[in-house]
Structure 1
Amino acid sequence: MKIVVIGGTGLIGSKTVAILREEGHEVVAASPKSGVNSITGEGLKEAMASAQVVIDLTNSPSFEDKAVLEFFE
């Protein structure tokens, strides 16, 4: 199964990616480091092509309550 982990190079994301790969899944670790920016959408379409599952482990770009809630809507 192809799984895209947005935030896949972060602390939690990298561990999630490793576990999923150990289980035999095809995993894309999507993050700005891999050319995927979930805020601007850059690289997102290509990363998600033919994916069956998307896991979002991104952090909000802000710590203000309103901005955080809007980011995850």
Structure 2
Amino acid sequence: MQCASCKEPLETTCFYWDKKLYCKYDYEKLFAVKCGGCFEAIAPNEFVMQAQKSVYHLSCFYCCVYE
């Protein structure tokens, strides 16, 4: 088996999306929810803060007022 994106062999783990298999790196790059602060992937088991339509790592979220 190989990753549908990078074509590298899937040796230990794989992720499934839309009937295709992906390595962890490509799956996160293509499909993972991204933090609105740092734009890095948010793991499914992480606690997050949601504001309007954005999701943030707890450490990336802060309130500010724009005038």
Q: Assess same fold via TM > 0.5.
A: no
TM-score (norm 2): 0.24
TM-score (norm 1): 0.23
Higher helix share: 1
Whichever of the two has the greater Rg, that structure is 2
Greater relative contact order: 1 or 2 (C-alpha under 8 angstroms, separation 6 or more)?
Answer: 1
